[in-house]
């Protein structure tokens, strides 16, 4: 089949589409393609996930507006079917690959899922079919990994026996279906005609811009956009550390800086979690292959990865100042998801904060209204504690009756890493409030206990 014939089939919605990998990217993509009229086949290794999907039940946790309903609709109509068997992909005209592309402990791309998916696909790929990788990949991967693998396993040559492109996903948990329809996409094709054919497919549901480019440009765009975000978050975090040391308030400073044209200082926080930002800078960096000395991207990762330790330092020095060593202290950790009002805990900084507190001998109780197993009664978690540390600004935390909660604490230390409170807010009158990037603790509460250790506590940063 020529690309012109494929474009015609796409325009008539007669093209058969395969989606490999039915996770938080592949499943909404498969449902959306089915919704707009394509006969769609989803492939996943996990038999239970396949069974769930064919029963019209979404295996994706968390609040994804519209996804469960759409999945039920397209499975009942038969336009979407899931399978574990690649054999069914033999008749596909277009195959999207949306499998995980993590990095290993040495920050190198770990392509086991990608290479096994491409190898299995190559065994069955139809003549003239178009393969589009949606996973985020290191620049150069299409040319150096995917293309050779498909040529080897199909026994055909690129742009003769099959076509290849890269259209990186741009979805965020909690907004999967919405993002698929609204976010601009870059269609990187192995040829210009391939890129145009990709545009024809994505135009069936994407209302944002559809830009065309070559594959390496598409690989660069996605990894750069997330490395850019990571570096900017690291900048905000480093400014927060400086503010603490000079008694400034980073939250006020960033507001005022951002009044200056062309400035947009992001928000400091306890670290960077999620499935994209912690890993995509390393995927970008891997493209350098040691040929150029990368300093900024690794340094930004180190700053962000160092924030959980800084939060633990704030807690430790705050407790010590109030006469309570961290060993044996009871700490209430509020927020375990990596993002506000989400249940997604992937790479959450809270995990590191909890582990470090436990290693210091503290007793930790984590609470998160969205995370199953952690949706404990928040008042019970705080009662009798020596520190309440806010790591995620879930909207429910701001609504708590803090004056009453503080009186229930054994030691009234509140560490706020998300600026949930303004110092002048009445709720914190009776607490020692330590705010990331602004510190505070300059006026112990009226009922503060003398330093029972008799030693001079270490100064909290900025004291
Ligand atoms: N974070 C900060 N300060 C900030 C922004 C984020 O500390 O100013 C932290 C968050 O608390 C979280 C982590 O960084 O732990 C990541 O947050 P995020 O807002 O970047 O959310 P993600 O991880 O869902 O990132 C996704 C990315 N989307 C894709 O990869 C397709 C990213 O490109 C988007 O910019 C981001 O969503 C978004 O804007 O929501």
Give the tens place of pLDDT for each residue, 218-257: 999 999 999 999 999 999 999 999 999 999 999 999 999 9
Integer angstrom CA distances of residue 299 from 177, 231, 232, 353, 366? 34, 8, 12, 20, 30
- Which ligand 1 atom minimizes the distance to the CA of 136? 30
Residue 423 pLDDT class (50, 70, 90 cuts): low
- pLDDT (0 to 100) of residue 440: 67
pLDDT exceeds 60 at position 298: yes
CA distance 313 to 306: 11
Residue 457 pLDDT class (50, 70, 90 cuts): very low
Specify whether the CB–CB gap between 81 and 89 falls below 8 A: no
- pLDDT (0 to 100) of residue 453: 37
Question: Which residue of 339, 368, 393 sits with most ligand 1 atoms within 8 Å of its CB, as the best mutation to test the pocket?
Answer: 339
pTM of the predicted model as reported, rounded to 2 decimal places: 0.92
- pLDDT (0 to 100) of residue 443: 42
Of the candidate ranges 12-26, 64-78, 335-349, 443-457, the one whose mean pLDDT is the lowest: 443-457
- Which ligand 1 atom minimizes the distance to the CA of 179? 31
Rounded to the nearest 10 degrees, how much is the dihedral formed by the CA atoms of 168, 170, 176, 180?
-80
Nearest CA, atom 20, ligand 1: 277
Task: Kindly give, in sequence order, each residue whose CB lies less than 8 Å from that of residue 424, ignoring residues fewer than 6 positions away.
Answer: none
CA distance 274 to 296: 21
- pLDDT (0 to 100) of residue 178: 94
Number of helical H runs and strand E runs in the chain: 18, 14
Active site residues: 222, 276
pLDDT exceeds 60 at position 460: no
Q: How many other CB atoms sit within 10 Å of the CB of residue 239?
A: 19
Q: What is the mean pLDDT of the chain?
A: 93
What percentage of the chain carries pLDDT values higher than 70? Answer: 94
* pLDDT tens-digit map of 5-41: 999 999 999 999 999 999 999 999 999 999 999 999 9
- pLDDT (0 to 100) of residue 451: 39
Q: What angle do CA 43, 47, 53 make, to 5 degrees?
A: 65
Task: Kindly give, in sequence order, each residue whose CB lies less than 8 Å from that of residue 122, ignoring residues fewer than 6 positions away.
Answer: 149, 150, 152, 153, 154
Mean pLDDT of 334-340: 95
CA-closest candidate to residue 89, choices 48, 54, 51, 39: 39
- Ligand 1 pocket, Cβ-based, cut-off 6 angstroms: 170-173, 225-226, 229, 233, 266-267, 269, 272-274, 276-277, 338-339
What percentage of the chain carries pLDDT values higher than 90? Answer: 86
pLDDT exceeds 90 at position 449: no
CA distance 25 to 405: 41
Nearest CA, atom 37, ligand 1: 172
pLDDT exceeds 60 at position 326: yes
Coil, strand or helix: which one is 262?
coil
- pLDDT (0 to 100) of residue 429: 72
364 backbone dihedrals φ, ψ, rounded to 5°: -115, 135
How far is ligand 1, taken at its centre, from the CA of residue 430, in Å? 34
pLDDT exceeds 90 at position 454: no
CA distance 239 to 268: 8
- pLDDT (0 to 100) of residue 427: 63
Mean pLDDT of 299-303: 98
CA distance 168 to 190: 14
How far is ligand 1, taken at its centre, from the CA of residue 110, in Å? 22
* pLDDT tens-digit map of 48-58: 999 999 999 99
* pLDDT tens-digit map of 348-389: 999 999 999 999 999 999 999 999 999 999 999 999 999 999
- pLDDT (0 to 100) of residue 426: 59
* pLDDT tens-digit map of 131-190: 999 999 999 999 999 999 999 999 999 999 999 999 999 988 889 999 999 999 999 999
* pLDDT tens-digit map of 263-274: 999 999 999 999
Nearest CA, atom 33, ligand 1: 226
Nearest CA, atom 39, ligand 1: 172
- Which ligand 1 atom minimizes the distance to the CA of 304? 7
How far is ligand 1, taken at its centre, from the CA of residue 273, in Å? 8
Tracing tokens 């811009």 back to the chain, one arrives at 209
How far is ligand 1, taken at its centre, from the CA of residue 277, in Å? 6
How far is ligand 1, taken at its centre, from the CA of residue 285, in Å? 19
Give the residue, 460 or 271, on which the prediction is more confident: 271
- pLDDT (0 to 100) of residue 290: 80
Coil, strand or helix: which one is 58?
coil
């Amino acid at each position: 089949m020529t690309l012109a014939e494929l474009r015609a089939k796409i325009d008539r919605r007669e093209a058969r589409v395969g989606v490999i990998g039915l996770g938080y990217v592949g499943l909404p993509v498969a449902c959306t393609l089915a919704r707009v009229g394509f006969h769609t086949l989803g492939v996943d290794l996990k038999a239970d996930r396949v069974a769930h999907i064919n029963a019209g039940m979404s295996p994706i946790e968390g609040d994804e507006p519209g996804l469960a309903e759409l999945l039920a609709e397209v499975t009942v109509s038969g336009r979407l079917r899931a399978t574990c068997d690649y054999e069914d992909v033999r008749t596909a005209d277009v195959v999207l690959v949306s499998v995980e592309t993590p990095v290993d402990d040495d920050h190198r791309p770990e392509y086991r899922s990608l290479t096994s998916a491409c190898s299995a696909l190559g065994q069955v790929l139809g003549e003239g079919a178009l393969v589009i990788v949606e996973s985020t990949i290191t620049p150069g991967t299409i040319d150096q990994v995917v293309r050779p693998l498909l040529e080897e396993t199909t026994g055909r040559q690129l742009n003769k026996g099959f076509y290849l492109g890269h259209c990186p996903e741009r979805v965020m948990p909690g907004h999967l279906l919405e993002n698929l329809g609204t976010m601009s996409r870059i269609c990187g094709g192995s040829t210009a005609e391939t890129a145009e054919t990709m545009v024809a497919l994505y135009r069936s549901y994407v209302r944002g811009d559809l830009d065309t480019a070559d594959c390496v440009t598409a690989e660069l765009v996605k990894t750069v956009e997330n490395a850019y975000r990571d570096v900017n978050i690291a900048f905000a975090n480093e400014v927060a550390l400086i503010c603490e040391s000079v008694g400034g308030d980073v939250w006020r400073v960033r507001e005022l800086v951002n009044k200056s044209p062309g400035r947009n200082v992001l928000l400091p926080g306890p670290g960077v979690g999620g499935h994209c930002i912690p890993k995509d800078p390393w995927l970008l960096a891997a493209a350098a292959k040691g040929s150029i000395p990368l300093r900024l991207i690794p340094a930004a990762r180190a700053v962000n990865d160092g924030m959980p330790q800084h939060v633990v330092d704030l807690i430790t020095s705050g407790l010590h100042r109030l006469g309570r060593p961290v060993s044996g202290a009871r700490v209430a950790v509020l927020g375990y998801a990596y993002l506000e009002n989400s249940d997604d805990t992937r790479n959450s900084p809270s995990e590191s904060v909890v582990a470090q507190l436990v290693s210091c001998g503290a007793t930790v109780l984590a609470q998160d209204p969205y995370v199953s197993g952690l949706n404990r009664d928040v008042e019970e978690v705080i009662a009798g504690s020596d520190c309440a540390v806010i790591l995620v600004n879930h909207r429910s935390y701001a609504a708590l009756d803090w004056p009453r909660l503080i009186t229930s604490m054994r030691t009234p230390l509140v560490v706020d890493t998300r600026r949930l409170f303004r110092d002048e807010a009445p709720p914190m009158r009776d607490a020692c409030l330590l705010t990331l990037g602004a510190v505070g603790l300059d006026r112990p509460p009226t009922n503060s206990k003398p330093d029972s250790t008799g030693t001079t506590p270490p100064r909290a940063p900025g004291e």
